[in-house]
Amino acid sequence: MILVTGGAGFIGANFVLDWLAQSDEPVVNLDKLTYAGNRENLASLHGDARHHFVHGDIGDSALVVQLLRQHQPRAVINFAAESHVDRSIHGPEDFIQTNVVGTLRLLESVRGYWGGLDAEQKAGFRFLHVSTDEVYGSLSPTDPAFTEDNPFEPNSPYSASKAASDHLVRAWHHTYGLPVLTTNCSNNYGPYHFPEKLIPLMIVNALAGKALPIYGDGQQVRDWLYVKDHCSAIRRVLEGGRVGETYNVGGWNEKPNLEIVHTVCALLDELCPRSDGKPYREQITYVKDRPGHDRRYAIDARKLERELGWRPAETFESGIRKTVQWYLSHEDWVSHVQSGAYRDWVQKQYASESAA
Ligand code: NAD
Ligand code: TYD
């Protein structure tokens, strides 16, 4: 079996659902259920004996050691993190606690467990750390895309905490021999994406008749990957990745934010037109820029293709259409995640914003 952390969040839940759709190998899913963790994402696994959910913290060493002893996983896949840049600007502490201290404690718990395995199990064991392209910093419009050799130049509290965790993972391999793998992926989108991030926020705000807030000039570039392609890349790296290596994961889909929002609006115009017949893009408003906003991310994923034969299955056009359709057909999920805590965040982040 495998142990997944953060498997009630956006990417972790997609990963667990895809894993169990393709294999009968059981999953222990350890998640703290922060505001971003949602058991409803895993509702289709209710009563499925292959999925064992545990409510807990990766930093709770006693709990993690006990889970490892009890379930004897052949791999640990670490999705658990605080993941939202804007929240990290308002309150960096939680990011250091989970992304840095939590990863340290998880590595130590796993190292103890791994050290006690027999030689064959030890050789086959993997610790896969799921990370982000944001550790590399920001690119100018003409820079080549990030390769695995780019130096780390994180600019936000979020990316700094992820960079720190990546360094710890690397050091636990170099120093203690722990068989680690790291993936650094570009921006994901797709089902179960919490509506504080750009794409789901634009979909739910558009449908609710609210403003579509564009930070600064909207010309910041992100490289978008459909979440299920990220999950397939992680499975591929877990199966065949070389121990101690990092693999960039990306969709070859660099797009400015404004273009993303225009695309979402056009799809909504087609699939769920406004009752007044006007285009959704009329709801776009320009708001104050994010402090320290990274201008451009782009991933060079050729190493993953060359070594492990991975390519994304979705184009941006096919993936974004599926995503908008998913949100349109999951109104209950959307209304449940927009709980009191979510409303408090929206108030804090956007209430005082003035048009640029
Ligand atoms: P998310 O915020 O949607 O989910 C994070 C999950 O981790 C939640 O279920 C939360 O409850 C859980 N969690 C938080 N702290 C925990 C703790 N201390 N112990 C146990 N569980 C805890 O995030 P996501 O978008 O699904 O991202 C998952 C991972 O992928 C993160 O490590 C993130 O840095 C990385 N990543 C995300 C993206 C992206 O575009 N979303 C891109 C590249 C990499
Ligand atoms: P986000 O989804 O928060 O991902 P990240 O910051 O990790 O790349 O944001 C994606 C881009 O969209 C980023 O450049 C910030 C921008 N953005 C807006 O313009 N308005 C918004 O309301 C949000 C949430 C993001």
Cα 52 to middle of ligand 2, angstroms: 33
Q: What residues have CB less than 8 Å from 313, skipping those under 6 apart?
A: 226, 228, 229, 232
C-alpha of residue 63 to centroid of ligand 2, in Å: 35
Concerning whether 317 is annotated as a catalytic residue, the answer is no
Which residue out of 132, 222, 255, 260 has the highest number of ligand 2 atoms within 8 Å of its CB and is therefore the one to mutate?
A: 222
Task: Identify whether the C-beta of residue 199 lies closer than 8 Å to the C-beta of residue 261.
Answer: no
**Which residue from 154, 136, 153, 156 is spatially nearest to 145, judged by alpha carbons?**
136
Q: Is 200 in the pocket of ligand 2 (CB under 6 A)?
A: no
Ligand nearest to the CA of 193: 1
DSSP string, 48-71: -TTEEEEE--TT-HHHHHHHHHHH
CATH topology classification for 2-348: Rossmann fold (3.40.50)
Residue 310 CB neighbour total at 10 angstroms: 21
The answer to whether residue 133 is catalytic is yes
Give the integer Cα–Cα distance in Å for 165 and 167. Answer: 5
pLDDT of residue 135: 98
Distance (Å, whole) CA 129 – CA 5? 10
Question: Which residue's CA is the closest to the ligand 2 atom numbered 7?
Answer: 85
**Measured in angstroms, how far is the CA atom of residue 167 from the centroid of ligand 2?**
25
**What is the distance between the alpha carbons of residues 153 and 160, in angstroms, rounded to a whole number?**
8
* Measured distance CA(13)–CA(251) in Å, rounded: 20
Which pLDDT score, from 0 to 100, does residue 356 have? Answer: 36
**Structure pTM?**
0.97
Task: Point out the catalytic residue in the list 134, 196, 223, 314.
Answer: 134
305: left (phi over 0), alpha (psi -120 to 50) or beta: alpha
The domains of the chain are located at 2-348
pLDDT at 355: 41
Which pLDDT does position 342 carry in this prediction?
80
Who contacts 90 (Cβ-Cβ below 8 Å, separation ≥6)?
A: 348, 349
Q: Is 47 left (phi over 0), alpha (psi -120 to 50) or beta?
A: left
The pLDDT of residue 195 is 97
The conformation of residue 25, written as its DSSP 8-state character, comes to -
Nearest partner of 129 among 178, 190, 65, 88, judged by Cα: 178
Beta bridge partners of 246: 182
Q: If the chain, 356 residues long, is cut into consecutive pieces of 10 residues, what is the mean pLDDT of each piece?
A: 98 98 98 96 97 98 98 99 98 98 99 98 98 98 98 98 99 98 98 98 98 98 98 98 98 96 98 98 98 98 98 98 98 90 86 52
Centre of ligand 1 from the C-alpha of residue 304, in Å: 22
Question: How far from chain centre, in Å, is Cα 301?
Answer: 17
Instruction: For residues 13 and 30, give the distance between their C-alpha atoms in angstroms, rounded to a whole number.
Output: 11
Tokens describing residue 282? 């009329």
In the numeric block, which tokens belong to residue 264? 């979402």
Atom of ligand 1 at shortest range from CA of 34: 11
pLDDT value of position 352: 60
> Which numbered ligand comes closest to the C-alpha of 132?
1
Output the CA torsion 156→158→162→168 (10° steps): 90
pLDDT at 251: 87
Q: Tell me, what amino acid is at 178? A: L
Of residues 113, 136, 158, 192, which has the active-site annotation?
Answer: 158
Atom number in ligand 1 closest to CA 183: 44
Give yes or no for residue 12 CB within 6 A of ligand 1: yes
Mean pLDDT of the chain: 97
For residues 139 and 170, is the Cβ–Cβ distance under 8 A?
Answer: no
149 part of the active site: no
Cα–Cα distance measured from residue 265 to residue 138, given in angstroms and rounded to the nearest whole number: 27
What separation in Å is there between the alpha carbon of 83 and the centre of ligand 1?
5
| CA separation for the pair 25, 17 (Å, rounded) | 12
> Tokens 């994010």 sit at which residue?
290
Residue nearest to atom 41 of ligand 1 (CA): 188
Encode pLDDT of 314-343 as tens digits.
999 999 999 999 999 999 999 999 887 888
Block residue for tokens 């027999």: 118
Pocket test for ligand 2, best of 146, 184, 194, 198 (most atoms within 8 A of CB): 198
Query: Which one of the ligands is nearest to 221 CA?
Result: 2
